Amino acid sequence: MRVSIGAGGRVAVIGAGAAGLCSAKNLRDFGSSFKVVVFERGSRVGGAWRYSDKTGSFAVMYKSLRTNIPKEVMAFPGFPFADELPSFPGHSDVQTYLESYATEMDLHPMIRFNAHVEKVWKDESGSSWWVKSSDTMNYEGSVEEFDAVLVCNGHHGLPVYASVDGLDTFTGITTHSSVYRTPTPFRDQTVVLLGYGPSGVDIGIDIARGGAKQVLVAHRGYVQDEGSLPNLSFRPTMVRVEGSTIHFADGRTVDADQVVLCTGYAYDFPFLDPEIGVTVRNQVISKLYRHLVFTKDPTLSFVGIPQKIVPFPFFHYQSVYVAKYLSGEVDLASEEERENELNEEWKIHGDKADRFFHVFGPRQWEYMHSLAQQTEQTPMPRALQGVFENTAAIRKANPLSYRARQYEVFGEGETDWSYMLVDPV
């Protein structure tokens, strides 16, 4: 099936984070002279990588954050991070990298800053998309017509708050990791963190190192008590709160001063007209072929939905695919075939489909390889997969010191897995 919006088609990209920037570049480079407009509600590129001391300012980074994926794996194809940076750079280094990418790729002419997208809908004829936006500086609004829309607003916009019996009665302070910036407010206090994802572990370590009296990280996958710091330990998940007392699943309790919910974020597209038919339930976005293309209408796509991936290369392969099928250069499965493939994938996941449907992990490699083959792009070198998997294993075994590792990659192509630990720990 050929889907082409024609030469000179107008394409709206929502968001100028890593996914939006990459999509804009590839729509320009691989599309049919598309006219691309990127709507960015902030005043600069970077998306979630923009740091601010202020909470509620679209920022979710904390001050000490460093990547948990090596820069050697994380970079866009053909655009490496600076050589002098460590393998695990800080958030400001990634922000600088994305700003450099936007400049070097000449993306700024396509970006409208301070442009808040209020509504996206399809007209009655079904032939055009309409985007209503407003300038956040002068509040002037506009409505524009487009042939296709790429949603690239990330998935850090809507914090998820865990449901724990009695948590609303906790006499201490409850916050979400999205507002965490520094460990200073937790000094000399007993702190319980709920959640064992990257933010839960890293923030727990940060608070412990920052002088907290006691830090307990509670999670469903609990396997041990002690952490690598004298004031850091682990517990089974929280089951009940009574006043200041936190009850854990194994019957133990602790009196806490603060609780930090490291419970992630929900996908959120408040600007999409409900009539379009995109819904989110249990962390699953409905009707997404290849976790990317809206099954009912392939002129709507969502770049960067999957989790536990190497984000920037992943965005690259996804957006090249979208650009090429919108230009008619790459065939797209029919709607029936898209629905069937989606249903088959759902069956494979079985009981774990809810919540984990968009969580990729090991299956990301075949996914990217398939898109690369279909779009005639160079596949991701296997050596980068080796670095990623090595990092994952060491991060789990030693979350305090794995970032001291420095990698150097030699392997190219699909058979050479060569890389070296320059400074192994």
In this structure, are 183 and 77 located in the same domain?
A: no
In angstroms, what is the C-alpha Rg of the chain? 22
In this structure, are 244 and 367 located in the same domain?
A: no
Tell me how many degrees the CA angle 164-166-170 measures, rounded to the nearest 5.
105
Assess if residue 46 is contained within a domain: yes
pLDDT at 404: 92
Region for residue 230 given its phi and psi (left: phi exceeds 0; alpha: psi -120 to 50; beta: otherwise): alpha
Tell me how many degrees the CA angle 376-378-382 measures, rounded to the nearest 5.
135
Assess if residue 130 is contained within a domain: yes
pLDDT at 173: 98
Whether residue 112 has pLDDT greater than 60: yes
pLDDT at 351: 67
Listed residues 261, 285, 318: the one ending a domain: 261
Q: What is the mean pLDDT of residues 270-294?
A: 94
Lowest-confidence range among 119-128, 331-340, 406-415?
Answer: 406-415
Listed residues 349, 364, 380: the one ending a domain: 380
Encode 254-282: b = buried (16+ Cβ within 10 Å), e = exposed: bebbbbbbbbbbebebebbeeebebeeee
Whether residue 425 has pLDDT greater than 60: no
Assess if residue 1 is contained within a domain: no
pLDDT at 423: 64
Lowest-confidence range among 69-73, 186-190, 283-287?
Answer: 283-287
In this structure, are 235 and 173 located in the same domain?
A: yes
In this structure, are 235 and 103 located in the same domain?
A: no
Residue 186: which CATH number?
Answer: 3.50.50.60
pTM, to two decimals: 0.95
pLDDT for 256-267, tens place per residue? Answer: 999 999 999 999
pLDDT at 165: 97
In this structure, are 127 and 178 located in the same domain?
A: no
In this structure, are 353 and 364 located in the same domain?
A: yes
Q: DSSP secondary-structure letter at 376?
A: T
pLDDT at 235: 94
pLDDT at 225: 64
In this structure, are 131 and 272 located in the same domain?
A: yes
3-state DSSP assignment of residue 349? helix
> How many structural domains does the chain have?
3
The set of residues, in sequence order, having a beta carbon less than 8 Å from that of 301 and lying 6+ positions away, is: 148, 149, 150, 151, 292, 293, 294, 322
In this structure, are 41 and 150 located in the same domain?
A: yes
Closest CA to 260 of 306, 200, 315: 200
21 neighbors 353 (Cβ within 8 angstroms): no
Percent of the chain with pLDDT over 70: 97
Lowest-confidence range among 170-179, 231-240, 406-415?
Answer: 406-415
pLDDT for 172-226, tens place per residue? Answer: 999 999 999 999 999 999 999 999 888 899 999 999 999 999 999 999 877 676 6
pLDDT at 68: 95
pLDDT at 169: 95
pLDDT at 411: 83
pLDDT at 353: 67
Assess if residue 98 is contained within a domain: yes
pLDDT at 4: 84
d(CA 107, CA 3) in angstroms, rounded, equals 25
Lowest-confidence range among 27-36, 85-94, 131-140?
Answer: 131-140
In this structure, are 19 and 154 located in the same domain?
A: yes
pLDDT at 39: 98
Whether residue 271 has pLDDT greater than 90: yes
pLDDT band at 57 (very low <50, low <70, confident <90, very high): low
Whether residue 136 has pLDDT greater than 90: no
Average pLDDT, the chain: 93
pLDDT band at 32 (very low <50, low <70, confident <90, very high): confident
In this structure, are 15 and 122 located in the same domain?
A: yes
Q: DSSP secondary-structure letter at 377?
A: -
pLDDT at 417: 78
- DSSP per-residue letters across 156-216: -SEE-----BTGGG-SSEEEEGGG---SGGGTTSEEEEE--SHHHHHHHHHHHHTT-SEEE
d(CA 27, CA 35) in angstroms, rounded, equals 9
pLDDT at 352: 66
Assess if residue 5 is contained within a domain: no
Q: What is the mean pLDDT of residues 52-67?
A: 86
Domain range enclosing 329? 10-158+265-380
How do the residues of the chain divide into helix, strand and coil, expressed in percent and rounded to 5?
Answer: 30, 25, 45
H helical segments located in 261-381: 311-326, 335-349, 353-356, 364-375
Assess if residue 91 is contained within a domain: yes
pLDDT for 1-19, tens place per residue? Answer: 788 888 999 999 999 999 9
pLDDT band at 424 (very low <50, low <70, confident <90, very high): low
In this structure, are 314 and 373 located in the same domain?
A: yes
In this structure, are 148 and 287 located in the same domain?
A: yes
pLDDT for 307-362, tens place per residue? Answer: 999 999 999 999 999 999 999 999 999 999 999 999 888 888 776 667 789 999 99
Assess if residue 21 is contained within a domain: yes
Listed residues 261, 277, 293: the one ending a domain: 261
Assess if residue 102 is contained within a domain: yes
Whether residue 304 has pLDDT greater than 90: yes
Gap between the terminal Cα atoms of the chain: 52
326 neighbors 299 (Cβ within 8 angstroms): yes
